[in-house]
Each structure stands twice: as structure tokens, then as C-alpha cells.
A and B are shown apart, each in its own frame.
Chain A
Amino acid sequence: MRQLKYREAIDEATRQAMAKDERVFVMGVGVDDPKGIFGTTRGAFEQFGGSRVFDTPLSEAALTGMGVGAAMRGFHPLLVHARNDFLLLTMDQIVNNAAKWRYMSGGKLKVPLTIRAIIGRGWGQAAQHSQSLQAMFAHVPGLAVIMPTSPADAKGLLMTALSSDSPVICLEHRWLYDKSGPVPEDPYYTPLGVGAVVRPGRDVTIVAVSHMVLEALQAAETLAAEGIEAEVIDPRTLRPLDSALICRSAARTGRLVIADTGWRSYGVSAEIAARAAEELWGVLKAPIRRVALPDVPTPGSSALESAYYPGPREIVAAVKQCLEAPATSTTDGLAPSNRKEFEGPF
């Protein structure tokens, strides 16, 4: 099948959604720029012009509110942010308006609004440009939160978001942008709330979020060399979450490791662990293990970054804890994370 980069898949999804539905438009700081949000929006600007793809002031709160208002009047705005940290400026509009007006109106109003935002990492992005805030949004009823990992899912999930009649927040990890994968050319719609088994295995279930899926696959390769077969699940969407898929897998393997790009405390890994614990009491053979960010802000120095971000090595270690297997020298060759893949600058 044809290969596309993740960024190209987003661009294609945007253009196909706009071609199919004239109510879809794109706005955000720099969307019509030659760089076009890392190449994800420029194509739409060139195809549809400035009336449907337009640059904006740096007023995140008003822009989101404007998106909600336009959505309630029949449009489907796609609001794009170069960092998900910027969404913190607009939490009232997202949480109190986008997520609630449908419910508060007893279903009379709908808010078909899609918000894309990027998770930065590395190259000294530090504390305010690298956060991974999915848990904050996934906490809120009325919002869908999607975190596609593969180029195919980036296209299929974004197409679904742009045809949904509810608000969707799409969080994209910057390190996925240059990854390639097979992507069908025709429009298609990947359903929300359906996870994917990206590698089957019998010994342990690793649920990994966004870029951690790639790190988990790397860990699984290492484990396979030792005869440990890990099943890797990408939930793809966090709200709704495919609990059934996760619990079926963990019930079969008896062991569950969760790897998230966000912080450990009160995070996505905590929610998945809680659901598994509720469903699988007496079924799991070992305590659930979590691999997540330590509870500190992101540091700037690359020396500290490498200590901050967990990677395949930590996932392998967590799996071995579950299996009560001895740590072996095979993990020593693993980088703390595959940070060398990203060269920067942003």
C-alpha cells in the first residue's frame, strides 16, 4: 500500500474532510504559513484558500469560543495549536462550553468542533512546550480525546473527528510526524473507542499511548529475544476508551503494563489500571505496572530529559517485574528512549 508520513496523513485527512463537507474550516496561528503547522495545514490552504483556512490572532480563548459558536451554527471548525500547552489558555471554553452546551441544552445544541494540538518533546522544549495533557481533557465528560500513533490512524481518526457532531481533541506527538506507514488513499473513518492490537503476544499485555506505542514495540522486540511474548495494545482513543479490548487481553496474558506519555499521578495510566483492577480481580497474576513521566515538570537540559522520559528500557523492566523474571544484560543495549531519532530543531 502507499506509504505516507504521519504529517502527510493529517494533511490528507484535512483536505478530504474539507472536500466532502463544506462546513469544515481550519483556523489557528500560522495555519496558512509556508511551514503550516509542520506541514499539516498548508496543503488545505493551497487547495481551499484563505476563506476556509485562515491565520488568527494569538487569542486562544476567544478562538475556541468562536469555534464553539460557529459549530453551534452548523459549521465544523478545526482549530489547530502548535503545542497542547496553549490549550491551558482556553480551558473555560473547552471544558465549560465545548464540552457542556449540548448537555446543558438538553441536546438542542451540538458542538462539532475538532481541536488539534501537538505534544512537543526534546530539543530543550522544557516545562511549557512539552507537556502531555491528555488526562486533563479525558477527565471531562462531553469531550472525546484521540491520540493516533500510526499514519493510518492519524488519517482515519481525524476524518472521524471532522465528521463527528461532538467536540474532539486530537493530541499528536511531534515525534510521530516523520514516521511513515501504509495509508489508504480513499477517505475512511476509524471509529472512536476501538483500540488496536499492534503486536500479538501471550505473556504480558502492554497498553501504550501515542509515541509510547513505538517504544513498547521496541521493548517487545527485546523481550522476544528472551522468549517473552508481549502483546502491545494501542487504545488510539482515550475517551472513549476501549476497556473491553484491554481487559480481554490482560485476562488472557494475566499481566498488564501501561505506558503513557503523561505524568504518572492521576493520569491515563492510573485510569487504565483502575479499570483493569476493577474488572480483573483474581485474574491477573501480578500487580499492574505503570511506565509514565515522573511527577516533575519537564527539564530543559538534554541530560535531564534523558532521565525524565521513560523508554523501552523502563518498559522491559516493568514487564520483567510483572513476570518476576530477572533483569538481564539484554536491556543494557537499549537507549533510555529512542531520543536519537529526533534531531531537531523544532
Chain B
Amino acid sequence: MSRATTKRSARRRPAAPRKRDAGFRGLGPALLVDLYVTMRRIRRVEETIAALYPEQEIRCPTHLSIGQEAGASGVCLALRTTDTAVSTHRCHAHYIAKGGDLRSMFAELYGRVTGCCGGKGGSMHLTAPEVGMLGASAIVAGSVPLAVGTALAAKMASTDEVAVAFFGDAAMEQGVTHESLALAALRRLPVLFVCENNLYATNTPLRIRQAGSDLAQRAAGHWLPGITVDGNDVIAVYRAAKAAVDRARRGDGPTLIEVKTYRFREHVGPNYDIELGYRTQAELDRWMAREPMGALARRLERARMLEPARRAALDAQVEAEITDAVAFAKSSPFPEQAALYADVE
């Protein structure tokens, strides 16, 4: 990124009328740009994985988050580095948004010893404890109670850390999620339960899995607040998360946030999957027209907070990070055979 370049191009441009965006009220320009860059980083990492996948060097299942970038970004940018998050099989976006290192991520996908899990976790177990991204379970709802535990630890240690559990709509069908909501409410623990409702569990639609579609309503039965947000509006997600984080930090307990969003690619893998017939092209088109990253970029441009030249520079920087990370991963060694027996018992 070159600040100087941005300023020069801004000076050359005739002064267009600046359109104030009421939705940005109270949010600083640095945060707004960071939200964009985070979503851009997630989007481009995922697209890069999709592009590289046919090489068959990424030898692990990859559950891509393209289309769902706003949930991870809006929530994680409302957190501090010392706050913790746990995630699911679809954990790339959470890892990136929480600040996980891209070299370590790609190296993990490539099964290299330099990966964030030393090559032992793969795509579904990304971890970066140094920035509070603890890890992910590939069992639906499996990690939800872990966030209750990290919140318990924070409370017992008298810190003001907040814990986040990211999970999908199908996790609402698992008993342990409800046990966790109830337990966190009972003990007033500082937890955000973030349910990213993308409407499908693999290829099974929500409507044939649950009797209702507003999953935040589930919170009421466990005596905690439930909030629904447009998961493709990163500002809305950020504001909801920030309010819940502030509430948790004050000691007022957990919040369930339902983030309504949509996954563009297949459940697992790099492709589109309309031919499977479980959803329609028209539905996908409707959601793609509302994709969150471009939407924020357009709003920022209208508000003269992210000029095209600066956006291009930021995008180029993201590309450079990814190119570097892929090269690092591909040139890293595989783990030694002895590593098989390390880190257990």
C-alpha cells in the first residue's frame, strides 16, 4: 500500500460530491477500511484455494466461505486479539478475520511442517492461539461448548476477555448447542454465540430440518438475548457483535447472534454446484447480487472513504500477501515421519 499514491490520485481527481453514509455513523474510517480489507483477504484466499485445488497439492477437504465473509469480519473486528474464537469445518474466514497468519494457513493446507498445526490439522482445524483463534472442530456443534469454557476461564481469571463460538445453522439441531446456550446464560459468561445461517447443511435445506427459520428465537428458551442480523451487511454484523461484546465485557452475559448469509460454492470443494438441484441458479443469483465485499466497497467509495486508487493498492497488497503465502507453503518441507508420534500422550 502506498499512501502517497492514494493522495496524489485523489488530488488529480475532480472533487466529486461526498455522499454521507448514515450507516457509518460512529465508525472510524480505519475500521471501515479494515472491514473491507478483511473481507477482501478472505475472498481472495478462498478464490486462490479454488484456483489451486485442481493441482491436487492441497490434499485436504476445503469448505470455502465465499459469500459469507461479512460474518467472520464483522464479528472478529469487534474483538480484541486477546479475545478467543472457536470455529467449525468452515473455519478459513474466522482464522483470517481473527488475524491468523496467511503463510501458516496455506502451509497447513499444503500439509507442510510450517503450517499452523504443523501439518497435523489441515483445513478444518486451523489454529492461531497467538491471536485468539483457538481452533475448530469438524463435528457440527462440537466446538460450541469450548467457547463456554474459554469464557469460564476468562471469568475465573478475572480478565475481561470475551469468547466467540462460530457455528452454522445445523448446529442448532445439536443438543450440545442448547446445553451450551443454557449453561452460558446460567453462569452469565462472556460469550458470543454466532450462528452463521447459510440455509443449507451440506445439501439439505433449513426448511426441512427445522420448524422455523429465525434461529435467534432459540435464545429466548435459554434466557439469553437473540439477535438477527443481515449477514451480508458487514456493518450490521459489526454493530450487533460490538453491542454483544460490550455487554459480555460488562459482565452481563452471553448473546446469540444469527447472521443470515449464503454460501456461493459447493459445501466442500472449489466448485459451484447448482447442477445438484438442491438450490436454484435464481436463488444463487439473488444472493450474489448482495455479496458483502463489493457492497461495502461501493458504499465506501460513495462516501469518499475508499477511492478507487487506494482500493486498488489495498487489493494489490492482499494479492501480494497471498502470492507470498502460497509460495512459502509450496516451498516448505513436509513434516518428518517422527512428527506422527509427537504431541500426544
Contact = CB atoms under 8 A, between A and B. Distances in A.
Given A57-B179, A68-B146, A73-B150, A109 B135 contact: yes
A142 B150 CA distance: 21
A61 B145 contact: yes
A106 B117 contact: yes
Interface in A13-39: 25
B183 interface: yes
B166 to A, nearest CB: 14
A240 B344 CA distance: 12
A67 B182 contact: no
A107 B135 CA distance: 12
A156 to B, nearest CB: 19
B120 interface: yes
A71 B149 contact: yes
A71 B148 CA distance: 12
Identify the interface centre among A56, A57, A75, A108: most chain B CB within 10 Å of its CB: A108
Contacts of A166: 345
Contact of A142 (B116, B186, B345): B345
B4 interface: no
Contacts of A104: 117, 120-121, 125, 127, 135
A289 B179 CA distance: 45
A113 to B, nearest CB: 9
A97 interface: yes
A103 B120 contact: yes
Contacts of B134: 72, 109
Contacts of A56: 183
Interface in B123-170: 125, 127, 129, 134-135, 137, 139, 142-154, 156-157, 163
Interface string A40-77: 00000000000100001101011111111111111101
Interface residues of A, number: 40
Contacts of A59: 176, 179-180, 182-183
Contacts of B150: 69-70, 72-73
A109 B119 CA distance: 14
Nearest to A192: B345
A93 B179 contact: no
B88 interface: no
A70 B137 contact: no
A105 B125 contact: yes
A73 B343 contact: no
A96 B142 contact: yes
By CB atoms of chain B within 10 A, which of A57, A105, A107 has the most?
Answer: A105
A103 B121 CA distance: 8
B73 interface: no
A105 B122 CA distance: 9
A300 interface: no
A144 interface: yes
Nearest to A27: B152
B137 A97 contact: yes
A65 B180 contact: yes
Contacts of A107: 118, 342-343
Interface string A96-126: 1100011111111100000000000000000
B138 to A, nearest CB: 8
A69 B147 contact: yes
Contacts of A68: 145-146, 149
A103 B163 CA distance: 22
B84 interface: yes
Nearest to A66: B149
A56 to B, nearest CB: 8
A214 to B, nearest CB: 29
B292 interface: no
Contacts of B23: none
Nearest to B108: A106
B148 A65 contact: yes
Contact of B145 (A66, A77, A144): A66
Interface string A181-194: 00000000000000
Nearest to A74: B153
Interface string A156-193: 00000000001000000000000000000000000000
A141 interface: yes
Nearest to B163: A69
A56 B86 CA distance: 23
A73 B144 contact: no
B183 A62 contact: yes
- Sorted nearest first, the 8 A-B pairs with minimum C-beta distance are A69-B149, A65-B145, A106-B118, A62-B179, A73-B153, A59-B179, A69-B146, A107-B343
16 contacts: A57-B183, A63-B179, A65-B148, A66-B148, A67-B149, A68-B149, A69-B153, A70-B149, A71-B149, A74-B153, A96-B137, A102-B344, A103-B344, A104-B127, A105-B120, A142-B345
Interface of A: 25, 51, 56-57, 59, 61-75, 77, 92-93, 96-97, 101-109, 141-142, 144, 166, 239-240
Given A69-B145, A101-B135, A102-B343, 5 more contacts: A61-B179, A65-B145, A72-B153, A106-B116, A144-B345
